[in-house]
Amino acid sequence: MVMEINHRKEENKGAFIATENGAKAGEMTYSKAGDTLIIIDHTEVDPAFGGQGVGKKMVLAAVDFARENNIKILPLCPFAKAAFDKDSTIQDVL
C-alpha cells in the first residue's frame, strides 16, 4: 500500500491530492498569489486515513514544489500552519 501525492495545477489555484490504491485519502488546496507565492487555504483528510500522516505528506509535497520552483508558501489553513510551526526544516519556504 503506497501513498501517492499528485499535484493538480489550474490557472490560479491547485491541489495536492493523496491517494492510496486508487482511494482518495486527502486533498490540500492552494491559490496562487502572483508568480512567487502560493497560499494553502484548505487541508482535508478522509477519516478512514486519519492518523496516517496524510496531511503531513501533502504539506511536504507542497514544500518540495515550492523549493523546486523557487516560490514561497503562506499557510492560511490551520493544519498547514501547525505543520510548519512544528517542523523547522520546512520553514525555508515561508
Burial class of residue 43 (count of CB atoms within 10 Å of its CB; 0-12, 13-18, 19+): buried
pLDDT tens digit string along 47-57?
999 999 999 99
pLDDT tens digit string along 36-89?
999 999 999 999 999 999 999 999 999 999 999 999 999 999 999 999 999 999
Task: Dihedral sign for Cα 7, 57, 94, 77, please.
Answer: positive
What is the model's pTM?
A: 0.96
Residue 1: per-residue pLDDT = 63
Kindly report the CATH number that applies to the domain delimited by 3-93: 3.40.630.30
The beta strands (E) that lie in the chain are given as 3-9, 13-20, 23-32, 37-45, 72-75
Rounded mean pLDDT, 19-37: 96
